[in-house]
Structure 1
């Protein structure tokens, strides 16, 4: 199962996994784009079920996850749906943060928890062939001045996913956190700020799938961004203060 499968990394993952004898459960908010992706996956031999809905609809996605599991038995759930929202005004910060957390955090909760509940009830115990993945970002390694709402929401998912991995290890359920750098998608195409080490979505899907197959705790890429983020995490605070600025974007200003 892949959420946010109608575009971007979600679409690339769906196309990567699509093959003969593979069952894909795909969801996205845009029914036309979702069906286009589904048809492309079917052309590669996959059996595809779709649900055009919002991950913020907790009852709706919980019901759909239950239906998919009852019909196909879910073995991998990728909570990928997310948004990158920001604001150049003080007044807009709260709205951007609230909406970001609603989709990037609560939407992930609405996806992984129903799946974990179903997987944990399987027998024999510990269960086998059960895994969930949470989409974070390299921006989640630190609070970024250029994207307070996005980076902090992704940080929440990073830490939450790492905690879930430990909590469910004894049950046999794998939990991975995905932390991509800049990936060429419709979302990043709207970004006017510098995007170093940008990689194509299909390449990102390959890296993610390879990491999930190995049940890696964190799937962070590209390596250049891994190096930069780890360096930033270990710099003294006074240096971080000097470089943590909204470079490349409109500076935050109060409305007159």
Structure 2
């Protein structure tokens, strides 16, 4: 499918070494598109960079510690001083799971998850929005999850972080619309990746990352408020947020989404 990136468009993608981030980088890579790719895995980032260069894009790579607020702010301020991104897709994220039934997730893992899934994108917005306002346009893309509709026993902290970023993005869209900045919240279901493979429980309607990237890119292009997929799982998990909590939790257990390995 041809890239939808406009000539000279500048696109920032964090988590570019992950499944969705990498697929989006390759989707947008084209002549006239400058990609700013961030990833923690330097070797994997170099492979994505080479593939994007081969498709004609120009590429800048970074591996700054997203959890270091000072370093992150310095990087973004320098980046925006050079050329503010037209689109910022904040894909970096992580997951953690309870070790077994009745066992809480480790607190250090929960803190690290909340830092990267929730605090980091909010911190990035603090730096990107003033530059986008000065430019008169921009698009922020925040990655939530279908787990944001109702918390899953297999990933309670992850569900909480994704519900938080969903609510933040929804509020941000109304706040920034008058100044020409769009906000799209992406709520994927299961997308093939090491993170997905590590998740306990069933993974219905799993999508390849390339398919997810195409759907996300179309939503960004249309400045959609929400991009959620796949439809059957989205529709089902939406009902979990609507139904009485006791019924939703019964359904989650009945369908096996409370599955955890015994310690």
Cα distance in 1 for residues equivalent to 2:125 and 2:55: 27
Report what 1:4 is aligned to.
15
Structure 1 outlier segments of 4+, above 6 Å: none
Measured against aligned partners, the alpha-carbon deviations of 1:139-187 in whole angstroms (never above 9, x if no partner) come to 1111211210110100000000000001111111001111000001122
Aligned partner of 1:210 among 212, 215, 218:
218
Q: Tell me if structure 1 keeps the 8 A contact 2:15–2:91.
A: yes
- CA shift in 2, pair 1:191/1:241, >3 Å: closer
Cα distance in 1 for residues equivalent to 2:35 and 2:251: 43
Q: Which runs of 5+ in 1 are unaligned?
A: none
Measured against aligned partners, the alpha-carbon deviations of 1:173-214 in whole angstroms (never above 9, x if no partner) come to 001111000001122122342100000000000000000000
Report what 1:39 is aligned to.
50
TM-score (norm 1): 0.91
- Report the Cα offset of residue 71 of structure 1: 2.5
Report what 2:156 is aligned to.
148
- Report the Cα offset of residue 121 of structure 1: 2.6
Number of aligned residues = 247
Matches within 5 A, 1:63-102: 63-88=74-99, 90=103, 92-102=105-115
Q: Which runs of 5+ in 2 are unaligned?
A: 1-11
Report what 2:8 is aligned to.
none
- Report the Cα offset of residue 103 of structure 1: 1.1
Report what 1:23 is aligned to.
34
Q: Decide which moves more: 101-110 or 172-181.
A: 101-110
- Report the Cα offset of residue 93 of structure 1: 4.3
Tell me whether 1:175 sits opposite 2:183 in the alignment: yes
Cα distance in 1 for residues equivalent to 2:81 and 2:165: 27
Q: Tell me if structure 2 keeps the 8 A contact 1:3–1:80.
A: yes
Report what 1:226 is aligned to.
234
Aligned partner of 2:73 among 62, 66, 71:
62
Q: Decide which moves more: 14-23 or 94-103.
A: 94-103
Q: Tell me if structure 2 keeps the 8 A contact 1:78–1:133.
A: yes
- Report the Cα offset of residue 67 of structure 1: 2.4
Cα distance in 2 for residues equivalent to 1:24 and 1:61: 18
TM-score (norm 2): 0.88
Q: Decide which moves more: 87-96 or 202-211.
A: 87-96
- Report the Cα offset of residue 91 of structure 1: 5.1
Q: Secondary structure at the match of 1:184?
A: coil
Cα distance in 1 for residues equivalent to 2:228 and 2:240: 15
Tell me whether 1:133 sits opposite 2:141 in the alignment: yes
- Report the Cα offset of residue 55 of structure 1: 1.6
Q: Name the Cα RMSD after superposition.
A: 1.6
Q: Tell me if structure 2 keeps the 8 A contact 1:25–1:68.
A: no
Q: Tell me if structure 2 keeps the 8 A contact 1:55–1:110.
A: no
Cα distance in 2 for residues equivalent to 1:54 and 1:193: 31
